[in-house]
Structure 1
Amino acid sequence: MLDTAMGLFRRQGYHATGINQVLAESEAPRGSLYFHFPGGKQQLAAEAVEASGRQVSELLAAVVVEASGPREAVAAVMAHFAQALEESDFSSGCPVATVALEASAESAEVRSACDGAYGTWMAGLAAAFEAWGMPASRAGELAVTALSMLEGALLLCKVQRDVATLRTVGDQLAELLESARTEEV
């Protein structure tokens, strides 16, 4: 049920995803929904965002471990999201953003889950940037900038139905991060 909800919220958003659709597509009995998610749709959405957030955190961590530096890491992340966009016919972007845009203003539980996911991603990025030799004083700012650039690129790619923006943003982000490595510590 959670996996189904994750996919539906990512593709359709919070408001377009109904409990009946989650139950039908997951083939779960109705009683199991309220047994596992007594808070209903808000709890299901919050847990789906948390699970999706962990998946992206794991992806980012794996990319950082494999990459020799920021340029290679940025290219790998952008390629991953470009492939996901193309394979979904541009219906799946960021697994957190769609829900965050729709439901965070009306649900503290969902807002907290979205904030937690973004916070974890930024902390992981900041740690990676420091490990690549960027000044600690700039790592947090650069993490905010990198995540904002990625989120904006994903949104534009969905609207334009083209991954070219990911490539452009990736190139610019890689340049920014490489130049930050040469700043005085």
Structure 2
Amino acid sequence: MPPRTDSRQRFLDAAADLFHTKSYHATGLNELVSAGGAPKGSLYFHFPGGKEQLAAEALTQSSAQLRDILRALLSDGDTDAVFAALEHNLLASDFQRGCPLATVALDAAAESEPIRQACVSGFDSWRAAIEEFLRDKGLDAERAARLSIVSLTSLEGALLLAKTQRDVAPLRTVAAHLRTTIERELS
């Protein structure tokens, strides 16, 4: 793998941003090069697999960042902080930024194994962070695993509805439901 450089990181950051808001197919190579602030040859130097490799690595980076945020927000035991951060992200971006993986997963994962694998790994890392939180709260491993899947899929669905409806109500509804569900599971 080529060494990490500023231009490599700029490409990753630009790609993560563009894929998050526009999708994989709606983002052109020239747009990625322009946003990365380096010549096209530099893109291929750092990402010999082209746009597909760049996308997979940008998704991996975005996933790790969100996983770390999830862990930090859940570390104090407050699920409301997660939903507040997601709501803020939606509102601050005028509903352009929901899940950093969902747009690309729906757009390109069926035709690209590296992109599909990056999405699988990312979603699983978020589910694992939720499962860890639930185990730390006292749920046994099996119940925590099941509830982490329900929690993540509910959160993903709420983000999709909120983004398409341009309204945070679905996110708030799911937050209230999950809070009740988790409290019931813990009692």
Q: Does the 8 A contact of 1:135 with 1:181 survive in 2?
A: no
Instruction: Name the stretch that deviates more: 98-107 or 24-33.
Output: 24-33
Q: 1:126 matched to which residue of 2?
A: 131
Q: Does the 8 A contact of 2:90 with 2:98 survive in 1?
A: yes
CA distance in 1, matches of 2:67, 2:162: 21
Q: CA deviation at 1:20?
A: 0.6
For residues 123-173 of structure 1, the C-alpha deviation after alignment (integer angstroms, 9 at most, x for no partner) is 111111011011222111111100000100000001110111111100001
> Given the alignment, which residue of 52, 60, 63 partners 1:53?
63
Q: CA deviation at 1:121?
A: 1.0
Q: Which secondary structure does the structure 2 equivalent of 1:38 belong to? A: coil
Residue identity matched to 1:91: Q
Residue identity matched to 1:54: A
Residue identity matched to 2:118: A
Q: TM-score, normalised by structure 1?
A: 0.93
Q: Which secondary structure does the structure 2 equivalent of 1:66 belong to? A: coil
Residue identity matched to 1:102: D
> Given the alignment, which residue of 97, 120, 123 partners 1:92?
97
CA distance in 2, matches of 1:82, 1:64: 16
**Percent of matched pairs sharing the same residue:** 47
Q: Does the 8 A contact of 2:74 with 2:81 survive in 1?
A: no
Q: 1:172 matched to which residue of 2?
A: 177
Structure with the bigger RCO (C-alpha within 8 Å, sep 6+) is: 1
After the TM superposition, which residues 31-50 of structure 1 pair with which residues of structure 2 at under 5 Å, given as runs? Answer: 31-50=41-60
CA distance in 2, matches of 1:17, 1:175: 40
Residue identity matched to 1:160: Q
Question: Once superposed, which parts of structure 1, at least 4 consecutive aligned residues long, lie more than 3 Å away?
Answer: none
Say yes or no: does 1:162 pair with 2:172.
no
For residues 65-94 of structure 1, the C-alpha deviation after alignment (integer angstroms, 9 at most, x for no partner) is 123xxxx22x11111111111111111110
For residues 26-70 of structure 1, the C-alpha deviation after alignment (integer angstroms, 9 at most, x for no partner) is 211111100111001110110011000001100011012123xxx
Gap runs ≥5 in structure 2: 1-10
Q: Which secondary structure does the structure 2 equivalent of 1:91 belong to? A: coil
Q: 1:144 matched to which residue of 2?
A: 149
Q: TM-score, normalised by structure 2?
A: 0.92
Q: Alpha carbon RMSD of aligned pairs, Å?
A: 0.8
Residue identity matched to 2:175: G
CA distance in 1, matches of 2:82, 2:132: 16
Q: Which secondary structure does the structure 2 equivalent of 1:157 belong to? A: helix
Q: Does the 8 A contact of 2:67 with 2:125 survive in 1?
A: yes
Residue identity matched to 1:126: E
CA distance in 2, matches of 1:41, 1:26: 12
- Aligned pair count reads 177
